[in-house]
Structure 1
């Protein structure tokens, strides 16, 4: 057995496994890494992963960054994946598992748009195939270090998310994504922490504010001046600072905080802007604000 390597810092891993739901965006994520110069292999059987990483090290003085897309298209995926992970770690590799996910409704729309069957659909319905795949991948998803929910994302937004995750800035130890969203569109699947701003008055019901967003000064001032707003955000900041210290100690690489209101346009957006500004002084932490539902009608 070789010497076990330390788990690599976020975005600087030697080996990344891309997996997740069919139609959720694995190919897009793989394309981003390939554009960054990674050696990317698609649809490789899980049992061949150890051979893959061994081959990339042969006769090479430069450590190659490798990404493999593994999914249910290969037979016996679940059992083979578990065994492959054990073999990789025993062989000295610390693979970073990135799981690409989306809601069932979003996946149905995507498959219908391209008029292709789901790989596990067989003679059943499209939704049957999606649900079968979700059951097969349940343990893989729970063990993944990063889960990216692509519900509501277009190709460019997903590319930006993956690109940010694998940024080459070595000093970054933890990437904190603070994401505004609308509860009416669903809670983000990849949220580690969810904050609910629906206790505050909704600017939507003010005709003078409805057309603006939480990025605009008048909405921001309205939201942050409401009774309880500053107290809530202060408590959220304290909680996140405490949690981040623990995440750094435990070696977490990526954390997503969801901040929700009804439509994801006013209260949650203003709060994300405020929180990211307050937390930007944290050393070793890259904080990025995202607004998932800001462009929705």
Structure 2
């Protein structure tokens, strides 16, 4: 896929939409567009951003959805995927949106499109028919859909051409348009003991068994890496500080690129023999080093005994 920025257009005469909503009524975003242009992925992005998303909703049910949302005191950000799968009901979208706007409901319309060549390629790769193809060819189905959605496209507040856009780029574009802020990447630094097995959800695994083991010191054995005497002993071991600084730098570099791959959380496992002393102290220090680099970090200890 191309790395070029996809075409994002705002129809003539319509100002760039502000997605901030009044507190009194829920904001409604109508997600529509061509089949194969990325609506499913776009809906997933909205859900990840905290929107309440309803897929394949007939337009005449939009008003009821908004009312139910208000009555239930649900989250304010509401999105509905409306497209030609609704059949004849799709033609009701314009008058329904008109009615909602007269009722004071802020409605924004996001339209996804792509070139014929891109749509053909995607449908062939997915090995599924176009919803309007019928007994005709794929291109005939695409042409029928373009005709049906032409008026909706003209009305859209935002049109995104996904022809040269991969799923990660689509996520970035939609996020930049509708999110109050970029969602943070959650980093969990987890200490563990190798004797109890590797954590199943670890994305990174660091082995700190090369450090001096407090287990062999009678005064430190009953303590854990959260206690100052053990922490000072571990961090004072030869190579400990260099390891923390170097490993934090390597992980920081990787985390900078994780969002492009739709990663929302990352687990960094730090292991020693039993998971009580060295791994605990190093996990805490590593977590602090990553926080200093601007990451949202939670530190947990799998095998540390409960107080």
Q: Unaligned stretches of 5+ in structure 2?
A: 1-14, 22-26, 182-307
Q: Is the 8 A contact 2:52 2:75 kept in 1?
A: no
- Please name the residue that 2:190 is paired with: none
- Please name the residue that 1:105 is paired with: 117
Deviations 1:156-213 (A, max 9, x none): 11111111111205xxxxxxxxxxxxxxxxxxxxxxxxxxxxxxxxxxxxxxxxxxxx
Find out whether 1:66 has 2:74 as its counterpart.
Answer: no
- Please name the residue that 2:167 is paired with: 155
Find out whether 1:45 has 2:53 as its counterpart.
Answer: no
Displacement after TM superposition at 1:137 (Å): 0.3
Indicate the RMSD between aligned Cα atoms, in angstroms.
2.0
Moved segments of 4+, more than 4 Å:
none
Find out whether 1:17 has 2:25 as its counterpart.
Answer: no
- Please name the residue that 2:93 is paired with: 81
SS in 1 for 2:84: coil
Find out whether 1:166 has 2:178 as its counterpart.
Answer: yes
Q: Is the 8 A contact 1:71 1:77 kept in 2?
A: no
Q: Is the 8 A contact 2:16 2:157 kept in 1?
A: no
Evaluate the alpha carbon distance shift between residue 9 and residue 83 of structure 1 in structure 2; reply closer, same or farther with a 3 A threshold. Answer: closer
SS in 2 for 1:137: helix
- Please name the residue that 2:44 is paired with: 31
Using the size of structure 1 for normalisation, the TM-score is 0.52
Evaluate the alpha carbon distance shift between residue 54 and residue 8 of structure 1 in structure 2; reply closer, same or farther with a 3 A threshold. Answer: farther
- Please name the residue that 1:94 is paired with: 106
- Please name the residue that 2:156 is paired with: 144
SS in 2 for 1:74: helix
Q: Unaligned stretches of 5+ in structure 1?
A: 1-6, 170-297
Displacement after TM superposition at 1:47 (Å): 0.7
Q: Is the 8 A contact 1:8 1:94 kept in 2?
A: no
SS in 2 for 1:28: helix
The structure whose Rg is larger is: 2
Find out whether 1:130 has 2:138 as its counterpart.
Answer: no
Deviations 1:118-139 (A, max 9, x none): 0000010001110000000000
Aligned length: 163
- Partner Cα separation in structure 1 for residue 79 and residue 117 of structure 2: 28
Displacement after TM superposition at 1:78 (Å): 4.3
Evaluate the alpha carbon distance shift between residue 115 and residue 42 of structure 1 in structure 2; reply closer, same or farther with a 3 A threshold. Answer: same
Deviations 1:78-97 (A, max 9, x none): 43111211221122112100
Evaluate the alpha carbon distance shift between residue 80 and residue 15 of structure 1 in structure 2; reply closer, same or farther with a 3 A threshold. Answer: same
- Partner Cα separation in structure 2 for residue 59 and residue 160 of structure 1: 31
- Partner Cα separation in structure 1 for residue 75 and residue 20 of structure 2: 11
After the TM superposition, which residues 161-240 of structure 1 pair with which residues of structure 2 at under 5 Å, given as runs? 161-168=173-180
- Partner Cα separation in structure 2 for residue 91 and residue 112 of structure 1: 43
- Please name the residue that 1:225 is paired with: none
SS in 1 for 2:109: strand
Using the size of structure 2 for normalisation, the TM-score is 0.51
